Structure 1
Amino acid sequence: MWTVLNHEQANSLYQHCLKLEWQQNQIRIAGKTMPVPRLECIYGDAGCDYLYSNSVFLKPLTWTDALDNLRDRITALIGYKFRIVIGNQYRSAQDSIGWHADNEPSMGFNPAIASISLGCVRKFQIKPKDGKPTDFWLEHGSLLVMHPGCQSTHLHQVPKTNKVVSTRINLTFRPHTGGKR
């Protein structure tokens, strides 16, 4: 985990991200349809549609300059190329994402995922599929990279909390096997 944005850069990006086109999607789990417990958005290359959990379909909007510049900066830093960014906005302590792996076929085999955290510090947990979790406290402006292979062997989550928290925005930069740049 690295701090890649100084406080001023992180604050500016956070303000930009608050203005993105957030939506409350519906997910189907165990035969029930319910709201996703956070807001989501997607930006990316044309045609890089994204389906997860076989029920939530995201069609990318055109990159904003700030998101495209951040993508280029992350690629220069870590060497992986990305075609989409999925934003998650955790508005309160009850907004969350449960244990999962980001292993959708549209990202290709063993994708690398780069995650930028903005706003409130929240706990991020990662664990081997048959092991115990490790906790990370993702700070404003930090970058977490899940290297190729991680999605095959590990699960991760942002759990609910009983603490009083303010808004956290997470940007996950991902590869994609389709679309046009």
Structure 2
Amino acid sequence: MQQLNLFEELAPALPVSYYPDFLSVQEANELYQHCLQLEWQQNYIKMVGKIIAVPRLESIYGDAGCDYIYSNSVFLRPLPWTEKLAQLRDSITALTGHKFNIVIGNQYRSGEDSIGWHADNEPSMGVEPAIASVSLGAVRKFQLKPKQGKPTDFWLEHGSLLIMHRGCQSTHLHQLPKTKKFVSTRINLTFRSHVGKTA
């Protein structure tokens, strides 16, 4: 498995690893088609006293009882693992040694869909969790920055794997910004741990 050290070359302090060829083109294409058939939902989030639509579609699969809450307003209850998602989880565990209980899917339908600056540090994920992120479909700009620093821009390819190592969520923020350029659908699968505490 080739590990491309773009992150290390451009920003040596970034606590991440990147594998551009984690999946073959055929594997990535098949997984993308599978993910299009997942149960996607439009969720709503409370921000500044208003209820607004989350600017993307979401799905969650995983172990029973691993409910997930983020921003104190969006509740996700996992559906049972599909065979392909479970196989992907096991492949990532074999590579990284990290075990995951859930996978959260984000479907970015166009350049208008996005996710703003944030850290994935919900209590249910435990202390200093590692997160594995698989990208499928269109290439979108991904940004990562220290909480008090400037962002570094990267483009995550179809079939690639990004590992945000333990500690990353404490020291860094990340986002997928909007773009005015035409882009087709991108699906992101983030594999996460779950320790049972949702609030």
Q: TM-score, normalised by structure 2?
A: 0.89
Offset, 1:178: 2.1
SS in 2 for 1:117: strand
1:51 and 2:69 aligned? yes
Partner of residue 193, structure 2: 175
SS in 1 for 2:89: helix
CA distance, structure 1, for counterparts of residue 108 and residue 196 of structure 2: 29
CA distance, structure 2, for counterparts of residue 134 and residue 13 of structure 1: 28
Partner of residue 154, structure 2: 136
SS in 1 for 2:99: coil
Partner of residue 43, structure 2: 25
- The letter of the residue matching 1:99 is W
SS in 2 for 1:94: coil
SS in 2 for 1:161: coil
Offset, 1:136: 1.0
- The letter of the residue matching 2:192 is R
Q: Give CA deviations for 1:92-120 in whole Å, capped at 9, x if unaligned.
A: 00000000000000000000000000000
- The letter of the residue matching 2:27 is Q
Q: TM-score, normalised by structure 1?
A: 0.98
Q: Give CA deviations for 1:25-64 in whole Å, capped at 9, x if unaligned.
A: 0000111100000000000000000000000000000000
Aligned residues: 179
Structure 2 segments unaligned to the other structure (5+ residues): 1-17
- The letter of the residue matching 1:148 is R
**4+ aligned runs moved over 3 Å, structure 1:** none
Q: Give CA deviations for 1:54-84 in whole Å, capped at 9, x if unaligned.
A: 0000000000000000000000001100000
Partner of residue 149, structure 1: 167
Partner of residue 128, structure 2: 110
1:40 and 2:40 aligned? no
Partner of residue 165, structure 1: 183
CA RMSD of aligned residues (A): 0.8
Q: Give CA deviations for 1:150-170 in whole Å, capped at 9, x if unaligned.
A: 000000000000110000000
Instruction: Give runs of aligned pairs for residues 56-67 of structure 1, distance below 5 A.
Output: 56-67=74-85
CA distance, structure 2, for counterparts of residue 75 and residue 31 of structure 1: 40
Structure 1 segments unaligned to the other structure (5+ residues): none
1:82 and 2:94 aligned? no
Partner of residue 10, structure 1: 28
CA distance, structure 1, for counterparts of residue 173 and residue 71 of structure 2: 14
Q: 1:101 aligns with which of 108, 112, 119?
A: 119
CA distance, structure 1, for counterparts of residue 117 and residue 155 of structure 2: 17
